Amino acid sequence: MPLLVLKNMKTEILKVDPEEPEPLKIKAAAKILHDGGLVAFPTETVYGLGADAFNPEAVKKIFEVKGRPSDNPLIVHVASISEVYRLAKEVPKKAERLMKRFWPGPLTLVFKKMSVVPDIVTAGLDTVAIRMPDNEAALAMIREAGTPIVAPSANTFSKPSPTTPGHVVSDLYGKIELILDGGNTRIGVESTVVDVTTDSVLLLRPGGLDLEEIEAVVGRVELHPAVKAMPNVNGHAAKAPGMKYKHYAPNAKVVLVEGGGEKIVRNVNSLIRVFVRRGSVVGVITMREGEFYDTDKVKFMRDFNTFAKNLFTAFREFDKIGVDVIIVEGVEERGLGLAIMNRLRKASSQIIHV
């Protein structure tokens, strides 16, 4: 239950330059964090909702404000690789290679944790997820706060992650102290989460950094079954506990159409007609340009980068104009396509193979 005190709080919104953040604004954000408050801030992936990782009371507020189940652990954000050695009990060689190559950037590593990391951060697990975001405002804020910052995506639980300051405002205005507005995020899907606590490297959540790029550094990466599966479908143990919930979902019903080749447009059009006959307003998300769809509400994604960057915005925009059903055409699971398909499967209430 969200606490009453958290509602109708005065939320300040400060525009920051994501490349050369204004020091006074960064100081203001750091002070709030230091005093146990919450600050939404831009990263290269999605907006984060930050709190001091070493202040359990502040971390607790994150779960309350988001309405997030307390068994879903948070990512700790750092501003330098050296901080990892104060949080992680073991830092294997392969992790050092990955950090050197990809940090700052959209890669989160799961380590065995030191006991100084509060239980509320890790939901009682003996591991801790850590990442260094590639955004100067975020890095300056973490540095100035002088403490690692936990940050889930700055959306209400189960809603699409926020990729614009407007998304953060609509989910969290009146509930947190400050929103740092650094413009739209560059990548648009969350970081790739990789477990390095065992002999192999295990992908828990595909994200902004391609699997292929990681494999080029550490060799073969294993995929946790949930990466490609529907949540709850196969009853796999939740190694990344966030996997078991329906996520990223707009209010509209999402129908994912997978496979299909040549026939896909015809199949999508018959689907559209079925839903329209039932009185639904239908939107389509597609990478096919110049095709005819039986609705005027079509969002065209030119390539994987555009798709990732605009996916959550598309969901929210369709909701705004009263779309009831969003039909999305699946994409190939390579590069960013793996993260896109993961988010689509988790958001959809129906998957149709054609």
- Site of interaction with Mg ion (CB under 5 A): 153
Q: Which residue number places its CB atom closest to Mg ion? A: 153
**Residue 153 vs 295, nearer CB to Mg ion:** 153
Q: In angstroms, give the least distance from the CB of 15 to ligand TXA.
A: 19
Phi, psi of 294 (to 5 degrees): -80, 35
Q: Whole-number minimum distance, CB 59 to ligand TXA, in Å?
A: 12
Give whole-number Cα distances, 353 to 127, 236, 261, 263, 268, in Å. 37, 23, 11, 12, 11
Cis peptide before 104 (omega within 30 of 0): yes
CB of 322 to Mg ion, least distance (A): 25
Which CB atom, from 133 or from 337, has the smaller least distance to ligand TXA?
Answer: 133
In the complex with Mg ion, which residue's Cβ is closer, 153 or 185? 153
According to DSSP, the residues that pair with 113 across neighbouring strands are 88
Residue 133 binds which of ligand TXA, Mg ion, none (CB < 5-8 A, kind-dependent): ligand TXA
List the beta bridge partners of residue 205: 193
Which residue, 85 or 321, has its beta carbon nearer to ligand TXA? 85
Residue nearest to ligand TXA (CB): 242
Q: Which is nearer to ligand TXA, 133 or 160 (CB)?
A: 133
* The pair of three-digit structure tokens given for residue 76, joined into one six-digit string: 């700790």
298 binds, among ligand TXA, Mg ion, none (CB under 5 to 8 A by kind): none
Tokens found for residue 229: 């599966």
Positions in the binding site for ligand TXA (CB under 6 A):
43, 45-46, 48, 72-75, 108, 110, 122, 125, 127-129, 133, 151-153, 190-191, 193, 204-205, 240-242
Angle, CA 48 vertex, CA 45 and CA 50 arms, to 5° = 150
Task: Give the CA distances from residue 304 to residues 286, 309, 333, 334, in Å, rounded to whole numbers and listed in that order.
Answer: 11, 8, 10, 10
Instruction: Reduce the DSSP state of residue 272 to 3 states and report it.
Output: helix
